[in-house]
Chains A and B, each alone.
Chain A
Amino acid sequence: MESTPPLIEAAGLAKHFGGIFAVDHLDLAVHEGELVGLIGPNGSGKTTTINLLTGHLKIDGGHVRVRGQTVAGLPASGFAGLGVGRTFQITQLFSRMSVIENMLVPGLARPGAHKAHVIREARRHLEFLGLAALEKLAAKNLSGGQQKLLELGRALMLEPKILFLDEPFAGVNPYLRDEIIRFVQTLHSEGRTFVIVDHDLDAIQRLVHRLVVMSRGRKIADGPLAAVRENQDVIKAYSGT
């Protein structure tokens, strides 16, 4: 695994807002097939990290490499084109467009995409996510949980090599949480790579093999679950002492 370059790699990644470092010289590498959890207290820089690794924020220092290739100044659409997909902390949909149209946008944005094939793919993903019967409904008319699933489906339409999920379990009922866990496990077993940010430690522990912990913009731990759980810096960050 280590001989091939990481799927995505951040080296010395930095972002500051005014005088405050939201991300402070972060090193992070995610390899193909990994399922990584990214946790940390509120304000630790998790979402900013995702925004930097998906082109939604400009980096102030360091660099990002996708499959070994440095991607300086690439916009978010460019990251998407390289197979870097994401969902958002607060679900971001094309509200007045139908469910199927939401799915078609990323499919048709891929160079050389054929509409008939994209529609077939969209319906296959909607079937997988249990949204097939709702394809003509406007996205704004879906329930909160269904909107989260649609956002996941839309990201899948990019045929992503790596998927960043930003708080996928926030505000969802226990049944849907189990459904999302099942979907992620299935997709991971098919070879997809995931980085999942969430505060739901129970769900994270059920899913991931590797845990990265951030505090005040810095990475304070990175490793297997058991080792990270025993890490004194992590305990300190979460207990606030």
Chain B
Amino acid sequence: MRRLDLASAALLAILAVIFPFFVNAYWLHVMIIGMMFAIMAASWSLLAGYAGQFSFGHMGFVAVGGYTAGLLATGLNLPLPLGMLAGVLLSALLGGVIGWTCLRMSGPYLAIFTMAFSEVLRIIIVTEVEVTGGAGGMNVPQLFHARTDLPYYYLILALLMVSVGGMMAVVASRWGLFFRAIRENEQAAAAAGVKVTRFRIIAFAIASSLAGLAGAFYAPYIGILTPDVASQDQMGLVVAMAIVGGMESLPGAVAGAIVVEFLVEALRSYGQWRLVLFGALLLFTMRFARNGLIAPGWLRLRNLAAPRGARLAKEAAD
């Protein structure tokens, strides 16, 4: 079964590498944005799906990563990659601080607190016109001076593979076990010797750093950064991507992000009605498929592909 997963991952990686040779510049751009959202959705899935911390401040960290990279590159003339790295580190640090501040919060309290954090950050960006450019946005220098988006495509593909690979390693490690234990029952986790405070902060820091990474990539790719990056509309989109994909599955969240991003673009001619469609899809998923649509679908396919003998042995073992 593990061999099937690895073979599928390798096939998808090959398809991703050759994808740009079969599409035009528009769909290449859609894929780049889809992969950027995939980092956001997967990191949110790590925080909310695995560690049970329902943060709605994720886009705030995307803004921190993007604005830090942009401000350091334009204000201090630092090399852009250095600015991007600083954005990731600052997001991790701020994520840890927010995680520490929210230690005694869970459920709706945590959701509202983190939403307020993101909104306060957005308002600061709008207000500090001289530093951030306010609502009009801030120009950020390009990372690559190529005539196509190919360098950005391969960069975001590499960032996605490394970040999701890293998160999967975390999930498979004892840290992942502790995250899930905290999600299930904090009191029991503490009684079992899990340092709940430490691991809640770690979960926030990892997820926030990866949101910051997505923002640090987005700023030089688009070339202009506006406060809308931290808006709750964007947060809702990331949550919808993770839920449709499967909140407790990192590959599911990645697939959810890419599928939703492509659907958003493919249905653009329907205007605002496509958002109604997504709302309905989200309601359907939450009511009838709480583990998402893509991750359970993949598991079913995988079971069908397994030899009958192996299936029976697994059923007997279960």
* Cβ distance B316 to chain A, nearest Cβ, rounded Å: 11
Q: Is A136 an interface residue, CB under 8 A from the partner?
A: yes
How distant is the Cα of A157 from the Cα of B191 in the complex, in angstroms?
11
Query: CB distance B194 to A105 under 8 Å?
Result: yes
Q: Which 4 A-B pairs have the closest CB atoms?
A: A80-B193, A109-B193, A76-B190, A106-B192
* Cβ distance B131 to chain A, nearest Cβ, rounded Å: 40
Q: Is B124 an interface residue, CB under 8 A from the partner?
A: no
Segment touching B, from A17-25, A96-104, A230-238: A96-104
Residues of B within 8 A of A101 (CB): 177, 180
Q: Is B195 an interface residue, CB under 8 A from the partner?
A: yes
* Cβ distance A65 to chain B, nearest Cβ, rounded Å: 20
Query: CB distance B191 to A94 under 8 Å?
Result: no
Q: Contacts A80-B190, A101-B177, A136-B318: A94 and B184 contacting too (C-beta < 8 A)?
A: yes
Query: CB distance A88 to B184 under 8 Å?
Result: no
Interface residues on A, range: 20 to 34
How distant is the Cα of A85 from the Cα of B193 in the complex, in angstroms?
9
Query: CB distance A77 to B196 under 8 Å?
Result: yes
Query: CB distance B181 to A56 under 8 Å?
Result: no
Tell which of A92, A96, A104, A137 touches B188, judged by Cβ atoms closer than 8 Å: A92
How distant is the Cα of A86 from the Cα of B180 in the complex, in angstroms?
20
Query: CB distance A105 to B192 under 8 Å?
Result: yes
How distant is the Cα of A158 from the Cα of B190 in the complex, in angstroms?
12
Residues of B within 8 A of A155 (CB): 191
Residues of B within 8 A of A76 (CB): 187, 190-191
Residues 134-170 of A contacting B (Cβ, < 8 Å): 136-137, 154-155, 157-158
Residues of B within 8 A of A108 (CB): 174, 177-178
Q: Contacts A56-B187, A108-B174, A136-B318: A94 and B193 contacting too (C-beta < 8 A)?
A: no
Residues of A within 8 A of B187 (CB): 56, 76, 88, 92
Residues of A within 8 A of B189 (CB): 77, 94, 105
Q: Per-position contact with A for B301-318: 1 when CB-CB < 8 Å, else 0?
A: 000000000000000011
Q: Which residues of B contact A (CB under 8 A)?
A: 174, 177-178, 180-181, 184-185, 187-197, 317-318
Tell which of B181, B197, B317, B318 touches A105, judged by Cβ atoms closer than 8 Å: B181
Query: CB distance A54 to B191 under 8 Å?
Result: yes
* Cβ distance B188 to chain A, nearest Cβ, rounded Å: 4
* Cβ distance A98 to chain B, nearest Cβ, rounded Å: 10
Q: Contacts A97-B181, A109-B178: A158 and B318 contacting too (C-beta < 8 A)?
A: no
Q: Is A205 an interface residue, CB under 8 A from the partner?
A: no
Q: List 24 A-B contacts (CB under 8 A).
A: A56-B187, A75-B195, A76-B187, A76-B190, A77-B195, A77-B196, A80-B190, A81-B193, A85-B191, A92-B188, A92-B191, A93-B184, A94-B181, A94-B188, A94-B189, A97-B181, A105-B178, A106-B192, A108-B174, A108-B177, A109-B178, A109-B194, A136-B317, A154-B188
Residues of B within 8 A of A93 (CB): 184-185, 188
- For the A-B complex with A92-B188, A92-B191, A101-B180 known, give 10 more contacts whose Cβ atoms are closer than 8 Å: A75-B196, A77-B195, A94-B185, A96-B180, A97-B184, A108-B178, A109-B195, A110-B193, A115-B174, A155-B191
Point out which of A101, A106, A110 has the most chain B C-beta atoms below 10 A from its C-beta: A106
Residues of A within 8 A of B318 (CB): 136-137
Select from chain A the residue with minimum beta-carbon distance to B187: A92
Q: Is A95 an interface residue, CB under 8 A from the partner?
A: yes
How distant is the Cα of A105 from the Cα of B193 in the complex, in angstroms?
8
Select from chain B the residue with minimum beta-carbon distance to A115: B174
Query: CB distance B177 to A77 under 8 Å?
Result: no
Residues 105-125 of A contacting B (Cβ, < 8 Å): 105-106, 108-110, 115
Residues of B within 8 A of A95 (CB): 184-185
Residues of A within 8 A of B190 (CB): 55-56, 75-77, 80
Residues of B within 8 A of A115 (CB): 174
How distant is the Cα of A91 from the Cα of B193 in the complex, in angstroms?
17
Query: CB distance B177 to A80 under 8 Å?
Result: no
Point out which of A77, A80, A137, A157 has the most chain B C-beta atoms below 10 A from its C-beta: A77
